[in-house]
């Protein structure tokens, strides 16, 4: 069965622009989580969606937002891009709302470069 699909794989944007990243979870998975990975900060949790509702949110400014559709696909949006937003953005899906005994499966990520 298909894995987690993230599009696009690579993206270059200029400061001040906005960007939308997409994540299609594994079929049947209803939970989608987003992470930002940078060399300095490591893997940081952005937010988690389950059944179109945001269940958890990390410590990021309001420029970072997301949503989940009825088919469980999720998008995250970053507005007014800053140079520091350059990172690998990873999406993970799991079958349920991330209970403690369900592993999350990750996509290959979207590498965003802000210039």
Partner 1 sequence: AQKITQTQPGMFVQEKEAVTLDCTYDTSDQSYGLFWYKQPSSGEMIFLIYQGSYDEQNATEGRYSLNFQKARKSANLVISASQLGDSAMYFCGFCSGNTGKLIFGQGTTLQVKP
Distance of closest approach, residue 13 Cβ to partner 1, in angstroms: 19
Distance of closest approach, residue 3 Cβ to partner 1, in angstroms: 9
Would you give the binding string for partner 1 spanning residues 70-99, x where CB under 8 A is met?
------------------x-x-x----xxx
Among 5, 20, 22, 56, binds partner 1 (CB under 8 A): 56
**55 or 79: CB nearest partner 1:** 55
What is the distance, to the nearest Å, from the Cα of residue 38 to the centroid of all Cα atoms in its chain? 14
3-state secondary structure of 107: coil
Q: Give burial (CB, 10 Å; 0-12/13-18/19+) of 96.
A: exposed
Q: What tokens does 22 get?
A: 């997409």
| Residue 30: count of CB within 10 angstroms of its CB | 16
Q: Give burial (CB, 10 Å; 0-12/13-18/19+) of 97.
A: middle
Would you give the binding string for partner 1 spanning residues 2-41, x where CB under 8 A is met?
-----------------------------x-x-x------
Query: By the criterion CB under 8 A, which residues form the site for partner 1?
Result: 31, 33, 35, 42-43, 45, 48, 50, 55-56, 88, 90, 92, 97-109, 111
């Amino acid at each position: 069965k298909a894995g987690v699909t993230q599009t696009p794989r690579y993206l270059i944007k200029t400061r001040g622009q906005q960007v939308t990243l997409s994540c299609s979870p594994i079929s049947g998975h209803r939970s989608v989580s987003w992470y930002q990975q940078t060399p300095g900060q490591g893997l940081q949790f952005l937010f988690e969606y389950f059944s179109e509702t945001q269940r958890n949110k990390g410590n990021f400014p309001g420029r970072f937002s997301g949503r989940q559709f009825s088919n469980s696909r999720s998008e995250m949006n970053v507005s007014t891009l800053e140079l520091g937003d350059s990172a690998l953005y990873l999406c993970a899906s799991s079958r349920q709302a991330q209970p403690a005994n369900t592993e999350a499966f990750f996509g290959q990520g979207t590498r965003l470069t802000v210039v």
